[in-house]
Amino acid sequence: MAEDKYNTGGISEYILVPEINLRNDTFILPEDVGYDDGTLIEPAACVVKSLNRSKIKQGDTILVIGLGVMGQIHVLLAGEFGAKRIIGADMVQFRLDKAIEFGADYVIDVSKESLIERLQDLTDGYMADIVIVGPGSIDAMKQGIESVSKGGIVVLFTPTKPDEILNINPSELYFKDVSLVTSYSCGPEDTQNALKFIQKGTITAKKLVTHRFSIDDTETAYRITAEAKDSLKCLIVF
């Protein structure tokens, strides 16, 4: 099998961990953090990095496009980073309801209404200071750029397929003074801060884990996750 440079070892019997990762980004779970909560450290750390890269400030309005488990973690943590108003957007009612439960002030069902028009209504035309684009979709990225306010920041949280191209208008970005930022993976400081949010109870498996499967049912877990109906985080439990 050809080597996949993006493969990070998910559902592998053995993985090779570089020494630098072991020295700087690996620790023993504290006694007050169980295994289920421990599985959320790396996902939460990716969100910590994303919010740090967004340069979110006290009082900002943040729009989170895509409310899968990573979008929900953005919703859960946005207030911790200073957001005054949190808006979520998705097309799955289960996820929209969860976002409200987790602290979103408003949600937008993009299967029923225009994201841009509804956001304009909610913000009196101001739009969002920070936009997190969760899906690795060109259309979602374009909508994210349309949704950001002047001087705002758009975070591209997920990559597209390697051969897909995002066409942008540099003049529009320039005169709106908009920044496009990517956020891939996380670092040791992000991991440490994510653990603190888990110990604090902001991020928990009770909130986010909706399904548990044995290793033999991994294919089912992937299918349920892909169907995006009533699932957020599926765990493979040994």
| CATH of region 41-160+167-182, choose from 3.40.50.720, 1.10.3720.10, 1.10.8.60, 1.10.10.10 | 3.40.50.720
Task: State residue 235's pLDDT score.
Answer: 95
Answer whether residue 34 shows pLDDT above 80: yes
Answer whether residue 1 shows pLDDT above 90: no
Q: What is the DSSP letter of 215?
A: G
Task: Give percent of the chain above pLDDT 70.
Answer: 96
Task: State residue 238's pLDDT score.
Answer: 83
How far, CA to CA in Å, does 181 sit from each of 20, 42, 54, 176, 178? 26, 20, 7, 15, 10
Answer whether residue 27 shows pLDDT above 90: no
Answer whether residue 216 shows pLDDT above 70: yes
Q: What is the pTM of this model?
A: 0.94
* Alpha-carbon span 202 to 135, nearest angstrom: 23
- Looking at per-residue pLDDT, the higher value among 10 and 129 belongs to 129
What is the overall mean pLDDT for the chain? 95
Instruction: Write down the H helix ranges in 13-148.
Output: 19-24, 35-38, 41-53, 69-78, 93-101, 115-123, 138-147
Answer whether residue 3 shows pLDDT above 50: no
- Looking at per-residue pLDDT, the higher value among 14 and 135 belongs to 135
- Beta-carbon contacts of 121 under 8 Å, excluding residues fewer than 6 positions away, are none
φ, ψ of residue 76 in degrees (nearest 5): -65, -35
> Max Cα separation, the chain?
54
pLDDT, mean of residues 2-11? 58
pLDDT digits (tens, 9 = 90+) for 159-205: 999 999 999 999 999 999 999 999 999 999 999 999 999 999 999 99
Task: State residue 210's pLDDT score.
Answer: 98
Task: State residue 9's pLDDT score.
Answer: 66
pLDDT confidence bin for 2, thresholds 50/70/90: very low
* Alpha-carbon span 118 to 115, nearest angstrom: 5
- Report the residue count for the chain: 238
pLDDT confidence bin for 8, thresholds 50/70/90: low
Task: State residue 7's pLDDT score.
Answer: 55
pLDDT digits (tens, 9 = 90+) for 116-154: 999 999 999 999 999 999 999 999 999 999 999 999 999
Domain positions in the chain: 41-160+167-182
Task: State residue 199's pLDDT score.
Answer: 98
pLDDT digits (tens, 9 = 90+) for 80-91: 999 999 999 999
Task: State residue 201's pLDDT score.
Answer: 98
- Which value, in Å, is the radius of gyration of the alpha carbons in the chain? 18
